[in-house]
Amino acid sequence: MKKTLCVAVCLVLGVMLTTPAGATHFGDTFGFSPEGMALGNAMTAKVDDWSAVYYNIAGLGRSQHLVNGKSQLFLGYINNAPDLDIEIVRREAATGDRLATNGDRDLDTGTIVIGGVLDIGTLVHLPEMVSSTRLGLAIGLNDDQSVVKINDLDPRTHNFMRYGRECQRMLITTGMGFGFLHDTFGVGLGVTSFFTGEGTALLERVELQTESQSPPGQAKMDLKMEQALVMGAYFSPGKLWRSLDTLELGVAYRAESQLDITPFRAIASTDLGGIPLNIKMALVDYYQPEMYSVGLAYSLNRLTLSADLEFQQWSGFEFSTPMQENYGGELKEFDDIFVPKLGLAYDFNPSLDLLFGYYYEPSFVPDEAVSGRMNFLDNDKHVVSLGCVYQLPKLSMVKGNSEFSIGYQYQHLMDRDVIKTAPTPENPHYSYGGSCHSLMLGVSINI
């Protein structure tokens, strides 16, 4: 009986833990397009291509100036190489042996991005006041062909919240944008898809041994796709007041979403008496907070300045029931954050635009959230970027123009010290920081 109870305790401690909040996807951590990344992701008022499904869905409706094809295809690839470091010395309390901390390893990621825009005006007749209507779709695919990578980690694990596995999930987002009165203003509506569901597992006659075993069992998991709302609007005041003919304004919203497999029931019975062990689990990851963005873009001669202010409502995150039952008052609310972004585009010549960007992103993890046993890793960071958009020679079989775009981004994670209220050899004070290099290439064709 004592052995059975011991097994029960070990199983409960081992599998009732759920994942801490992770980054939403590659777009939120790095950027969604080469041009957007190079401009510091300050795109809310400026975007008018396939990437509008992410930056501001209403931008799909801004298309009257696109005289060489309003439909578009895009293929791109982004590679991210974090160079992060955790300065920590952890030891086994009983023996004094050094314990490994691997949270800063194997964080490189890559994503294939496919985008498309269809001009609905070529298919149906639109009312005169509707100047543009376009449908957009974007898909992000992990380059190792995985769909989603779930981290079922003990929240005491030292885990960077925005890098590595935490930003590796397939992304599908789609929607429509509408422009009105010669693109004087426009609105857009769309959705981002994410996984939810529930699961059950039954294991019978589990033996008390250290060797590998395959006990008889049954399992099922029901996953489904749900949708989170995205919407936006833009306004071009220059269409009404000539003195403001180079000013663009935009607002965008993305609803919260989360991969949530709850409940995930597990029942195991040992070979000692067949006593059933009912275990309550949950898999919770990839939380995207509610996001609100406002932006403006202003052109002067050959320069275009864009500026965004983004609000991320991380306080809306709720820890899963198993995590609350295990850690209770140690789980602290995350901080809401504002992220200012700046972008500068220079029209170097008719075929080449040079792009520069900067943004500052504070951490959403407050000090009190990691002063105890928890170890959610997230830094304040300064991000600088540059890139270009080059018009490719026109192809005879393509109505519109083709573009090659490249964006490079450098993230500097400011060093952060973590001071524990009750440090132990396994959970001591430590510091962490580092940098991340990202490069994104893409080709788009207007048709």
Q: Which residue has the tokens 């029942």?
A: 267
Domain enclosing residue 96, as ranges:
2-446
Strand partners, 176: 135, 189
What gap in Å lies between CA 42 and CA 440, rounded to an integer? 16
- Residue pair 38/385 in contact by the 8 Å Cβ criterion: yes
Give me the pLDDT at residue 18, please.
37
Asked if omega into 340 is within 30° of 0 (cis), the reply is no
What gap in Å lies between CA 390 and CA 397, rounded to an integer? 19
Number of structural domains (the chain) is: 1
The CATH number linked to 340 is: 2.40.160
What is the percent of the chain with per-residue pLDDT over 70, rounded to a whole number?
Answer: 88
192 SS3 class: strand
Report pLDDT digits (tens) over 136-186. 999 999 999 887 777 656 778 898 989 988 888 888 899 999 999 999 999
Give me the pLDDT at residue 329, please.
75
Check pLDDT > 70 for residue 17. no
Q: Is 60 exposed, middle or buried (0-12, 13-18, 19+ CB in 10 A)?
A: buried
Q: What is the pTM of this model?
A: 0.86
CA dist 49 to 39, 270, 399, Å? Answer: 14, 59, 16
- Candidates 10, 89, 60, 334; CA nearest to 173 is 60
Average pLDDT, stretch 382-407?
A: 88
HSE of 205, CA atoms in CB hemisphere, 13 A: 5
- The whole-chain average pLDDT of the chain stands at 86
Q: Report the range out of 271-280, 310-319, 386-395, 432-441 with the highest average pLDDT.
A: 432-441
CA dist 119 to 36, 176, 440, Å? Answer: 22, 10, 26
| Confidence label for 5 from pLDDT (cuts 50, 70 and 90) | very low
Instruction: Spell out the SS3 assignment of 249-297.
Output: EEEEEECCEEEEEEEEEEEEEECCCCCEEEEEEEEEEEEECEEEEEEEE
Strand partners, 369: none
- Residue pair 119/70 in contact by the 8 Å Cβ criterion: yes
What gap in Å lies between CA 162 and CA 300, rounded to an integer? 36
Question: Residues with Cβ < 8 Å from 143, sequence gap 6 or more?
Answer: 77, 109, 110, 111, 112
Question: Residues with Cβ < 8 Å from 63, sequence gap 6 or more?
Answer: 48, 70, 119, 132, 134, 179, 183
Report pLDDT digits (tens) over 407-416. 999 999 999 9
Report pLDDT digits (tens) over 297-352. 999 999 999 999 999 999 988 777 777 777 777 788 899 999 999 999 999 999 99
Report pLDDT digits (tens) over 214-269. 677 777 777 777 888 999 999 999 888 887 888 999 999 999 887 777 777 777 77
Average pLDDT, stretch 348-377?
A: 94
In the chain, the amino acid numbered 68 is N
What gap in Å lies between CA 397 and CA 170, rounded to an integer? 32
Check pLDDT > 60 for residue 12. no
How many whole angstroms from its chain centre is CA 114? 16
